[in-house]
Chains A and B, each alone.
Chain A
Amino acid sequence: MSPLDLLVAAPLAFMVASLVVGRGGRWLILAASPAMLALSAWLVALPPDAAHLVGDWELPLGILLRADGVARLLVPATSLCFVAVGLYAWHEFSPKSGRETARAHTFWPLLYLMWGGSNAGYLTTDLFNLYVTIEMVSLAAVAMAAMGSLAAGLQYFLIALVGSLAYLLGVALLAAHYDTVDATLLAIHARPDLPTLLAITVMTAGLLVKTALFPLHGWLPPAHAAAPAPASALLSAVVVKLGFVIILRLWFEAFAEVVRPAAMHLLGGMGALAILYGSIQAIRQERLKSLVAYSTVAQLGYLFLAFPLISNAPNPAEPWAAVLVHAVAHMLAKAAMFLAAGLMLKAVAGERISDLAGLARAMPLSVTAFALAAISLTGLPPSGGFTAKFLLLHAAIEQGSVVYAAVLVIGGLLGAVYLFRPLSVACSGSAAPVVKAEAPLRVAAPLALAALAVALGFAGMMLIELSSLSAPPAAAGPLPAEPGR
């Protein structure tokens, strides 16, 4: 038995169980949470080179699973998000006798499908296998987005579908060209010829659409803002990260020898524009959830702004660690923020930021959760967001990349502007609105996630060490790669 298999098999088993149990399906989260957290801890504790072939069938035919640094950081973070969202959703998606709804029943199997799919995606090195895991995650994501707005869900669905097909086209070209789609083998055999370059281009384009990098972000804000809070949390925190991780695998592992620096700067430039555009849009929003959704557009930009910084770095381990810490911190903080926003908006029965007046007095814990998440998202010390942005800024200054450094600073300031606004409204006003008390579990979930996002800053060294377990990627840069894997 290995956590590499169980981290995928267990959520799928819970999906089957929730379908069979039916009405009582929501109780399963109480069993799934400790089980999945324990499996994630086991994954982190595995020996550094832990990997095995499914069914012991050798490459190039078989499928390799492994616990690299990316997986060791993102799988536990994903599990934390799912656990918190699951506990939060336990009240919201409960079939009450007399007025049962489809979503109260179907939310749970979809949650487990998404959980299994994203874990499978982080652990596999097989690009076709990744296609299947992308579809597992997208399917659940589309259904959850449609729970809020069918129209936004359909738009998301069609765009995600074309994105998947673009990815599949690339996989088809690679499979025909190299007779394998394993990333570790492609890293050895890939040549910079037309089919390979076209494959990388269409795969990256397809994944960027799914990750909603500016200017391909159009579908994200309506879908993420309209969905029920637990669904928004999963969409913004977990779903968009899978596409990013696959791009990371393609650019810095499978095709590290093929990708040119110019392409790195193209991605970095799109990331920089995403930060600026997303932040400005977030400032202009009147509705709280739209603001949080546009903040996702901006924060995703940082993930891609890091690409040229990693490939140019004399010591790529540092920006590499930064981008992974940012992914983890954003996951925790954004899930916390959507959950807290859900509580606050439900309490005031509105959706506008102006509706929040005086809420800090009425529901201090939820507003605190929102504030803590905001601290990590803007990158204030001592949060995980600070560690990530500090490392990125350090790398940018070290490399003399004035533009990227400037965008990092401006992005941080804009982030402070758009996140301070809802908080200042919540703290304003003399009269506290009367709100119904929420179940403690629902308040605890975002509070715990946000606290973790802030506390991440204290675990900086541990995270950097974990992230260095995947090959520090520098081959595409002008300087020789770090030895040691």
Chain B
Amino acid sequence: MTISTSLGHLFPLTGAALVGLGLFGFISLRHPLRQLLAVNVIGAGIFLILGGLGRGEGVTDPYPQALVITGIVVSVALTAVGAAMITRLAEERRAAGTASDQPKDQGP
């Protein structure tokens, strides 16, 4: 723990800021594809908090590293499902011929 505290917390603090930024994006953006992007920013922030706080003197703790890798894979799987749902919904709307020019109102 000889790293000066100001520097040691730099990455986890960046992660916290990313979580807040992504959350704001998720709430204020209306299109679901943009919300999906915002969710990925939140995820990246959480991983940076987890990994950044595992920073030791020489190495970073492999335990949070492994959790982060698992988290990244889960998050890409969910992003793919979300993207597929958004496109299929647009296809259905187009097929139904209604409101195809209006993005769906996605309240948080």
Residues of A within 8 A of B (CB): 61, 128, 131-132, 135, 139, 142-143, 146, 150-151, 153-155, 157-158, 161-162, 164-165, 168-169, 172-173, 175-176, 179, 218
Known A150-B92, A153-B85, A168-B46; judge A162-B78 contact (CB<8 A).
no
B67 and A151: CB pair below 8 A? no
Q: Known contacts being A161-B39, A176-B54, is A154 close to B89, with CB within 8 Å?
A: yes
Contacts of B47 in A (CB 8 A): 172
Given A158-B39, A176-B64, 4 other A-B contacts at CB below 8 A? A142-B81, A154-B106, A158-B36, A218-B107
Contact B46 A169 (CB under 8 A): yes
- Kindly state the separation between the CA atoms of A143 and B82 in the bound complex, as whole angstroms: 10
Are A135 and B74 in touch, CB under 8 angstroms? yes
A329 to chain B, nearest CB (A): 33
Count of CB-CB pairs between chains A and B under 8 Å = 78
Please report the C-alpha to C-alpha distance between residue A308 and residue B18 in the assembled complex, in whole angstroms: 36
Query: When the two chains form their complex, are residues B49 and A176 in contact, meaning their CB atoms are under 8 A apart?
Result: yes
Q: Given contacts A154-B32, A157-B85, are A175 and B64 in contact (CB under 8 A)?
A: yes
CA gap between A176 and B11 in the complex, in Å: 13
A161 touches B19 (CB 8 A): no
CB distance from A185 to the nearest CB of B (A): 14
Per-residue A-contact encoding for B66-108, CB less than 8 Å = 1, 0 else: 0100110010011001100110110010000000000010111
Taken together as a complex, chains A and B put the C-alpha atoms of A128 and B104 apart, in Å, by 34
Among A154, A165, A168, chain B packs the most CB atoms within 10 A around the CB of A165
Known A169-B46, A173-B49: A158·B78 in contact at CB below 8 Å? no
- Answer whether residue B53 sits at the interface, using C-beta atoms and an 8 A cutoff: yes
Number of interface residues of B (CB under 8 A): 34
- Cα-based distance from A162 to B32 in the complex (angstroms): 13
Q: Assess whether B82 is in contact with A157, with CB atoms less than 8 Å apart.
A: yes
A443 to B39, CA, bound (A): 43
**Residue pair B88, A172 in contact (C-beta under 8 Å):** no
Chain A residues in 8 Å Cβ range of B106: 154-155, 158
The B interface is mostly helix, strand or loop, or mixed, namely: helix
A196 to chain B, nearest CB (A): 14
* Residue among A151, A155, A169 making CB contact with B19, cutoff 8 Å: A169
B85-A172 in contact (CB<8A): no
Most buried by B among A135, A146, A154: A154
| Cα separation A175 to B12 with both chains bound (whole Å) | 13
Which residues of chain A come closer than 8 Å to B36, judged between CB atoms? 158
B28 to chain A, nearest CB (A): 14
Complex alpha-carbon distance, A146 and B55, angstroms: 42
Q: Is the CB of A150 within 8 A of B43?
A: no
Query: Taking the nearest CB of chain B, how far is it from the CB of A134, in angstroms?
Result: 10
B35 with A158: CB separation less than 8 A: yes
Majority SS at the chain A contact face: helix
A65 to B103, CA, bound (A): 45
Would A165 and B89 count as touching, CB distance under 8 A?
A: no
Residues of chain B within 8 A (CB-CB) of A173 are 49
The answer to whether A161 and B104 have CB atoms under 8 Å apart is: no
Q: How far is the CB of A231 from chain B (nearest CB, A)?
A: 15
Is B85 in contact with A150, judged by CB distance below 8 angstroms?
Answer: yes
CA distance A218 to B107 in the complex (A): 10
A132 and B39 in contact, given A155-B106, A173-B49, A175-B67 (Cβ under 8 angstroms): no
Chain A: CB-nearest residue to B68: A172
Q: Given the known A-B contacts A158-B106, A175-B64, A176-B64, are A165 and B39 also in contact in the complex, defined by CB atoms under 8 Å? A: yes
Chain A residues whose CB sits within 8 angstroms of the CB of B74 once the complex forms:
131-132, 135
Residues of B within 8 A of A158 (CB): 32, 35-36, 39, 82, 106
Known contacts A61-B63, A154-B32, A176-B50; decide if A168 and B71 are in contact (CB<8 Å).
Answer: yes
Establish whether residues B50 and A132, one from each chain, have CB atoms under 8 Å apart when the complex forms: no
Q: How far is the CB of B32 from chain A (nearest CB, A)?
A: 6
How far is it, in angstroms, between the C-alpha of A164 and the C-alpha of B77 when the chains are bound? 14
Query: Do A165 and B42 form a contact, CB below 8 Å, given A146-B85, A154-B89, A158-B35?
Result: yes
A158 to B29, CA, bound (A): 13
Q: How far is the CA of A168 from the CA of B86 in the complex (A)?
A: 24
B residues within 8 A CB of A146?
85
Chain B 28-58 residues near chain A, CB threshold 8 A: 32, 35-36, 39, 42-43, 46-47, 49-50, 53-54
**Shortest distance between the CB of A179 and any CB in chain B (Å):** 8
- Tell me if B49 and A172 are in contact (CB < 8 A): yes
In angstroms, Cα B78 to Cα A135, docked, is: 9
Are A150 and B88 in contact, with the CB atoms below 8 A? Answer: yes
* 4 nearest A-B residue pairs (beta carbon): A176-B53, A172-B50, A150-B89, A154-B85
A161 in complex: contacting residue of B53, B78, B86, B92, CB < 8 Å: B78
B65 to A: closest C-beta gap in Å: 11
